[in-house]
Amino acid sequence: MATSLSSSAQIHAQYGGVVPEVAAREHAMAILPVVESVLHQANLELGDVDGIAVTQGPGLLGALLVGVTFAKTLAAALKIPIVGVHHLEAHLYANALEEPLHFPALGLLVSGGHTSLLLWHDYLDWDVLGETRDDAAGEAFDKGARILGAGYPGGPEIERLARRAKERSLCLPVADLADTLDFSFSGVKTATKSLWEAHGDKPEEIAYALQQAVVKALMRNLEKALDRYQIGHIYVAGGVSANRALRDAVRHLGENRNISIHIPRIEYCTDNAAMVAALGYRRMQAGKILDIFEGALATLPLV
Q: Which pLDDT does position 178 carry in this prediction?
A: 85
Residue 294 lies inside a defined structural domain of this protein: no
Residue 297 lies inside a defined structural domain of this protein: no
Residue closest to 112 by CA, chosen among 141, 150, 79, 147? 141
Do both 137 and 25 map to the same domain? no
- Cβ distance 136 to 214 under 8 Å? no
Whole-number Å distance between alpha carbons of 31 and 34? 5
Whole-number Å distance between alpha carbons of 55 and 51? 14
Task: Give me the number of domains the chain comprises.
Answer: 2
Do both 164 and 147 map to the same domain? yes
Whole-number Å distance between alpha carbons of 238 and 41? 26
Do both 83 and 112 map to the same domain? no
Do both 153 and 218 map to the same domain? yes
Residue closest to 54 by CA, chosen among 85, 79, 87, 33? 85
Q: Which pLDDT does position 208 carry in this prediction?
A: 98
Angle (CA) 229 231 236, round 5°: 110
Whole-number Å distance between alpha carbons of 56 and 69? 10
CB neighbours of 190 closer than 8 A, spacing ≥ 6? none
Residue 239 lies inside a defined structural domain of this protein: yes
117 lies in which domain range?
103-263
Q: Which pLDDT does position 46 carry in this prediction?
A: 94
Dihedral-angle region of residue 162 (phi above 0 means left; psi in -120 to 50 means alpha; beta otherwise)? alpha
Do both 249 and 135 map to the same domain? yes
Do both 150 and 249 map to the same domain? yes
Residue 235 lies inside a defined structural domain of this protein: yes
Q: Which pLDDT does position 11 carry in this prediction?
A: 77
If one counts every other C-beta atom within 10 angstroms of the C-beta of residue 168, the result is 12
Do both 66 and 206 map to the same domain? no
Do both 112 and 253 map to the same domain? yes
CATH number for 241:
3.30.420.40
Average pLDDT per run of 10 along the chain, which is 303 residues long? 70 74 88 92 94 95 96 96 96 95 97 92 96 94 95 92 94 90 94 96 97 97 95 96 98 97 95 94 96 92 82
| DSSP state letters, 92-140 | HGGGGGTS---SSEEEEEE-SS-EEEEEEEETTEEEEEEEBSSS-HHHH
Residue 81 lies inside a defined structural domain of this protein: yes
Q: Which pLDDT does position 151 carry in this prediction?
A: 84
Residue 296 lies inside a defined structural domain of this protein: no
Q: Which pLDDT does position 179 carry in this prediction?
A: 87
Residue closest to 218 by CA, chosen among 295, 125, 141? 141
Do both 194 and 108 map to the same domain? yes
Q: Which pLDDT does position 229 carry in this prediction?
A: 94
Amino acid identity for residue 43 in this structure: N
Residue closest to 109 by CA, chosen among 137, 133, 142, 84? 137
Do both 215 and 157 map to the same domain? yes
Do both 112 and 259 map to the same domain? yes
How far lies 203's CA from each of 139, 161, 170, 210, 289, in Å?
A: 18, 7, 11, 10, 49
Do both 45 and 113 map to the same domain? no
Q: Which pLDDT does position 123 carry in this prediction?
A: 96
Q: Which pLDDT does position 105 carry in this prediction?
A: 98
Give CA torsion, residues 200, 202, 204, 207, to 10 deg. -50
Residue 301 lies inside a defined structural domain of this protein: no
Whole-number Å distance between alpha carbons of 132 and 137? 8
Residue 55 lies inside a defined structural domain of this protein: yes
If one counts every other C-beta atom within 10 angstroms of the C-beta of residue 291, the result is 8
